[in-house]
Amino acid sequence: MSQPFVLPETQAVLDLLAAQPGPHLADLPAADARAVYHLLGDLFEEPADPSVRTLDLPPDSTGLGTPLRAYFPGPAQAGPVIVYMHGGGFVIGDLDTHNAVCTLVARVSGLRVVAVDYRLAPEHPYPAAHEDCLAAARFVAGAGAVLEAPVEGIAVAGDSAGGALACYLAARLGRDTVRAQLLIYPWLDATAADEGSYRDFAEGFLLDRRLMDRFITDSLPFETDVAGPDLSPVRHPLPAHLPPAVIVAAGLDPLRDQARALAAAMAGQGLECHFLEARGLIHGIATMRKALPSGDAVIRRATTIFADMIRATTA
């Protein structure tokens, strides 16, 4: 591989992280890795938009067993609702690590957003997260009373592992239920094939091969069909009923080629897809927007396209 293009803001983040003492994130116990993820958010993420009202929905208020957080960019109005799944390799991340980006999505889209605090591995490996998110999406579709105004269809969104979950929901529920999908550097091939961007960015760009191997070990039981369509959809023909998508890739991301492959497959099957690639940026831009302003601009642009797509399917 030739020398990759790295934005100065990206290099500053990488240099800062490289200078930090302590073990690799992949070598930490899950609880410690989750704590570090919170610290990275404190360091690199913009604060949550204070104009967006939030409402926590604990498990006993929904009957799901899964906490949810609802975001209201203004007075509740009848319309579609975005269901957001956080990233973190199915092992780290929660409602708080993605609070700021969910307020951004709500503010930019003008739509209600519901974030899902799905169960994490290794305590709850696959398919726990998929089951939680499917149940949450079905709940939100009929949760007009809880969300203070009728729900007229849902859209799905997520970053990294959350992008994988959003893609899974879109495939499972189809465009009759899901109006559109926003997939931010999604994890779409769990086979860990040592090729392309997965090989080229295996170390030195925050998300690396060691951390991916850790996520795979923790979240996917030995007997799991990692090459199946739920976990590796880019290795299969896409369902004809997939809703339109906005797909974001980061140029220095091991998962970059997976996002490219999904966009190409959707275009090849005549499915609507808008693809944005953030050149010179790393995996994690959705939750590192203070340190990576170019990434912030990409996420805002993708959300705007996503919102227009939702409204176009609602009209």
For the stretch 16-19, contacts whose Cβ atoms lie closer than 8 Å and that sit 24 or more positions apart, written own/partner, are 17/206
Q: Which of 94, 189, 218, 253 is catalytic?
A: 253
Instruction: State yes or no: is 86 an active-site residue.
Output: no
d(Cα 125, Cα 259) in Å, to the nearest integer? 24
d(Cα 116, Cα 132) in Å, to the nearest integer? 8
Phi and psi at 138, nearest 5°, equal -65, -35
**Is 155 within 8 Å of 83 (Cβ atoms)?**
yes
Q: Which of 86, 130, 274, 283 is catalytic?
A: 283
Instruction: State yes or no: is 283 an active-site residue.
Output: yes
SS3 label, residue 182: strand
DSSP letter for each residue of 119-152: --TTTS-TTHHHHHHHHHHHHHHT-TTTTTS-EE
Tell the residue number behind the tokens 């240099």, with chain if given: 15
Instruction: State yes or no: is 124 an active-site residue.
Output: no
- Which residue type occupies 241? H
Q: Closest Cα partner for 191 from 154, 135, 233?
A: 233
Work out the number of other CB atoms within 10 angstroms of the CB of residue 47.
10
d(Cα 193, Cα 43) in Å, to the nearest integer? 32
Q: Which of 160, 197, 219, 232 is catalytic?
A: 160
Name the H helices within 153-268: 161-173, 196-200, 209-219, 256-268
Give catalytic residue positions: 160, 253, 283
